[in-house]
Chains A and B, each alone.
Chain A
Amino acid sequence: MVLFFAAAAALAPVLSRVAPGTFTPYLMLMLCFGLTYALAALPLNLLMGYAGQISLGHAAFLGLGAFATGIITGRDGLPFLLGLAVSALVGGLSALVIGLPALRLRGLYLALVTLGFGLAMFSLVFRLRTVTGGYAGVGVPRPEAGTFVFSRNADLLALIVVIFGLVWALDRNVVRSKVGRAFLALRQDEEVAAGFGIDVARYKLYAFVLYGALSAVAGAVLGTVIGFAQQESFTFDVSLLFVAIVLLGGARSRAGVAVAAFFFGFLPRYFSFLHGWELVAAPALVLYSLVRHPGGLGQSLELLRSARFGRAVGRGRQGAPVADGPGLGGGGAGGDGAAGDSGDEDTVATVTRLALPRPVGVDGAAASGGGTLEVRDIVVRFGGLAAVDGVSLAVDPGRITGLIGPNGAGKSTLFNTVSGFVRPERGTILLGGHDVSSLPPHRRAALGLGRTFQQIGLVKDLTVVDNLVLAQHRLADYGTPSALGHLPRAARREREMTARARETLVALDLERLGIHRLDQLSHGQQRIVELAAALLTAPGVLLLDEPSAGMSPAAAEALAERLLQVRDELGQTILLIEHHLPLVMATCTTVHVMDAGRLLASGPPAEVQSDPAVVTAYLGGVRV
């Protein structure tokens, strides 16, 4: 990739000097525009495709960069590189300030705030005479390097290619680091992301600040290509155009978005014969591709590439389902086959030891499980209804504790309270002896609380291996700068985490599934992967929310074997919500029964099962 960009950068000046008739300055300028559009679309792609947020103030961020560079290089005569740096700083800081209020909230409030930001910048700041020179704007001179001036369009193009290559590399580094995985996780489900120890609000802010800085850099380049920064270049329509470009390119595909943007920047000057119909055709195409072809141009590119290289399932991105191999959900119709359920004895026999690799960066005591959990007098009310009404219970270290009860008994609410997603009215939660009652979910996860969800708590459009790497988020102890530069420390950690994910799959006899996207697996397989992901974080206490939901009885039996194995070989402490009673009977040492928000009974499974109060609650007798 580096070679490609270097060659492209070298080619432009050479070609324009060798064959000036074909490679005219005008063509070179149009290529500059095309590439600058691509440069400007990349950050928006990062924000929309990865972090799942949208900016309607893209033009304002471009304008910030253009004006900042114009003021620094044009008005003050300082170097172009300083202009770029200040642009990045101004863009990043603005994003930080306006992102703070919007990104604390769930939902797409960023769209509203950036709409306001864009219009306010356009109608107020960009036309202040003192700042931006009023309607006339600010001139942005061609960059200089020593005595060399990039006055020829071909030379400017070479410079833009270099900048584009750097931004491209930065984008790629982000995407393949823990930062990019965190973006994808929170884009799909903020609770799942928090469950893996990801600080959702902070990562959303990261994404937006990165977006702001890179957009402003693109704006600086755009100003340089145009030759001046002027209010009229940064209208609301420009913001909308870039949103449409990212969509047509297929959010998340760097190449697709860059190509789409390139043509929007390059072609209009050549396609004036469309007589403005592109204003109608482009949005119509956007809507059509949204409904019919959600992958956009990027997906088409990928299909083309995988067809050329004969890769039927290129990195598991296409929609082809996983073929049922031997022992993989065999025989079960739909999604009820767990991995290995067609040969239970086989699975149990071959995996005699759970050779789970030791977690990266966690000391032995924490890694060996055996944590404790105690909740005291928890009360949760939704409106007037007490969903959990004074529940106290303790989970024994190294044991599996069951939590059963009819639907609506408050079991999941209690789980969500322990995880930190629900704030109790009163009560205390002690994790490993520490009071965690006031901590946010990702902090509790970091202290060793792992959990699974009723719906599979993994990222659907990542591969199995990527999901398992994602699960190790809180063990990825490299900083964001290291991630952006893909520095040795980050690269090494990433390799270790990937290796660990693969070893885990081998230990679970699932290595064939590694390259497949999660949503291509059967439900039972996804459950096992989810369990593996939860174990990979080496939690002191693991909360499992109905792990056998949607499984066949045979698969549930295999799951029970696995859980016992996890308990015996890792000493893992587990609190289990479960409806499938045979699984509870087979695995739990102690069972707590909840009904209508209260604890009804506690004790060994056999004892609890014959408790008259429990029988009444389950069989729907008359309640007093």
Chain B
Amino acid sequence: MAAVIVSGIAAGAVYGLFALGLVLVYKTTRVLNFAQAEIGAFSTFVAYALIVNAGLPWGLGALLALGAAAAVGVGFERAVIRPLVGAPRLTLVVATIGLGLLLGGLEVKLWGIDPKLLPTPFHGSGLHVADVYLSPPRLLALGITAAAGLLSVWFFRRTTFGLALLAAAHDVVGVRLTGIRLRHLSAFTWGVSSVLGGMAGIVISLSLGAFAPFFLNRIMLLGFAAAVVGGMTSLPGALLGGIVIGVTEALVSHFWISVPGLVEAVMFGTIVVFLLVRPIGLLGRAE
């Protein structure tokens, strides 16, 4: 039982990472980013191309892949989001769907639909805590999530730039008047959010073993469920929501392993119940 919960927490850490990117964009621009899954998948493919095809060292390849993710995010903000300033929110949400389809189409064309394998950077045997085994990808997931979580909380609470970003979500003009250039803020948000998506994609591909185009669509549901559980606008909430979702998934698959698709149904139910009973989530704030 403890083993199930611990592995749920480790998996949930990655969902939290994924949700963190979703919440970051939603908090600052009120856009639900449905491209997050494909941004993650695309980064994983780039990492694969650099590490396996081009033979770069693992760390360098992964870093460049995250750079590619940032480029996708910033490029999307420049080319699509910014020209659509003032457009209905529906248009922006649909634009993210368009980006997801575009990246997915590119993956299919460039790398095909056959599953690929990204090698793991570790040669260690992981960690045994009591009767619980943590594989290297799981440890990596926990480490990266903890670091990203602490970093983003520090960023939004302690830096001018981060505070300005939050303020911009409420009063764009007010922030402009303080002399901060909003266009950079918006591009920055999309860049950081995409890097988080890329990290989540690479880490998940390691623990899944193999990946293919659109492999994160299911994770996107878990990520959004985590965001809703956390309250959609709370960064710590996203991480906590990720853990809750991860543990829920682990328990459901542990007890009802013979019912495929039950996890998705439970996630759907979780979203519905939270919206119905507690729309501000565990850590969100009423507006």
Contact = CB atoms under 8 A, between A and B. Distances in A.
Interface of A: 48, 52-54, 56, 98, 100-102, 104-105, 107-109, 111-113, 115-117, 119-120, 122-125, 127, 187, 236-237, 240, 243-244, 247, 276-277, 279-284, 286-287, 290-291, 294
Interface residues of B, number: 48
Given A116-B224, A122-B261, 12 more contacts: A52-B88, A52-B90, A53-B90, A107-B30, A116-B271, A120-B264, A120-B268, A123-B260, A124-B259, A124-B262, A279-B101, A287-B95
A281 B105 CA distance: 8
Most A Cβ at <10 Å: residue of B214, B259, B261: B261
B34 A111 contact: yes
Contacts of A56: 34, 97
A187 B220 CA distance: 26
A280 B90 contact: no
B150 interface: no
Contacts of B272: 98, 101-102, 113, 116
Contacts of A236: 214, 217
Given A279-B104, A290-B94, A123 B261 contact: yes
Contact of B90 (A48, A113, A124): A48
Interface in B78-117: 79-80, 83-84, 87-91, 93-95, 97-102, 104-106, 108-109
B157 interface: no
Interface string B131-152: 0000000000000000000000
Contacts of A54: 90, 93-94
A280 B109 CA distance: 8
11 contacts: A111-B32, A111-B34, A116-B271, A119-B218, A119-B268, A123-B264, A243-B97, A280-B106, A281-B105, A290-B94, A291-B83
Given A109-B275, A287-B98, A116 B268 contact: yes
B54 interface: no
Contact of B98 (A48, A109, A244): A244
Given A54-B93, A124-B260, A290-B80, A116 B30 contact: no
B212 to A, nearest CB: 13
Contacts of A127: 260-261
Nearest to B94: A247
Contacts of A237: 214
A47 to B, nearest CB: 10
A187 B97 CA distance: 20
B228 interface: yes
A192 to B, nearest CB: 14
Nearest to A57: B268
A116 B79 contact: no
Contact of A284 (B102, B224, B279): B102
Question: Interface of chain A, helix or strand or loop or mixed?
Answer: helix
B68 interface: no
Which of A102, A112, A122: most chain B Cβ within 10 A?
A112
B101 A113 contact: no
Contacts of A101: 272-273, 275-276
B265 interface: yes
Nearest to B26: A107
B221 interface: yes
A157 B262 CA distance: 38
Given A124-B261, A124-B265, A105 B275 contact: yes
Given A109-B275, A111-B32, A120 B90 contact: no
B274 to A, nearest CB: 9
Contacts of A187: 88
Contact of A247 (B30, B87, B98, B108): B98
A283 B99 contact: yes
Nearest to A286: B98
Contacts of B79: 287, 291
A100 B265 CA distance: 17
B261 A120 contact: yes
Contact of A291 (B80, B90, B104, B271): B80
Contacts of A124: 259-262, 264-265
Contacts of A122: 261, 264
Given A108-B32, A124-B261, A276 B97 contact: no
Nearest to A102: B275
B267 interface: yes
Contacts of B261: 120, 122-125, 127
Given A111-B34, A120-B265, A290 B109 contact: no
Kindly list the 4 A-B residue pairs having the minimum CB-CB distance in the complex, ordered from nearest. Answer: A123-B261, A124-B261, A116-B268, A279-B105
B202 interface: no
A277 B110 CA distance: 10
Contacts of A108: 32, 89-90, 93
B225 interface: yes
Contacts of A240: 97, 100-101
Contacts of B260: 123-124, 127
B220 A115 contact: yes
A67 to B, nearest CB: 15
Contacts of A247: 94, 98
Contacts of A53: 90
Contacts of B93: 54, 108, 111
Contact of A290 (B89, B95, B228): B95
A115 B275 CA distance: 14
Contacts of A123: 218, 260-261, 264-265
Nearest to B81: A291
A594 B84 CA distance: 39
A120 B87 CA distance: 31
A287 B224 contact: no
A287 B80 contact: yes
A460 to B, nearest CB: 11
A543 B192 CA distance: 46
Contacts of B267: 116, 119-120
A104 B272 CA distance: 12
Contacts of A48: 90, 94
Contacts of B279: 105
B23 to A, nearest CB: 13
B163 to A, nearest CB: 18
A107 B89 contact: yes
A333 to B, nearest CB: 23
Given A101-B272, A119-B264, A294 B91 contact: yes
Contacts of A290: 80, 84, 91, 94-95, 98
Contacts of A276: 105, 108-109
B125 to A, nearest CB: 33
Nearest to A246: B94
A227 B51 CA distance: 46
B225 A283 contact: no
A420 B24 CA distance: 32
Contacts of A100: 276
A116 B218 contact: no
Given A290-B91, A294-B91, A116 B102 contact: no
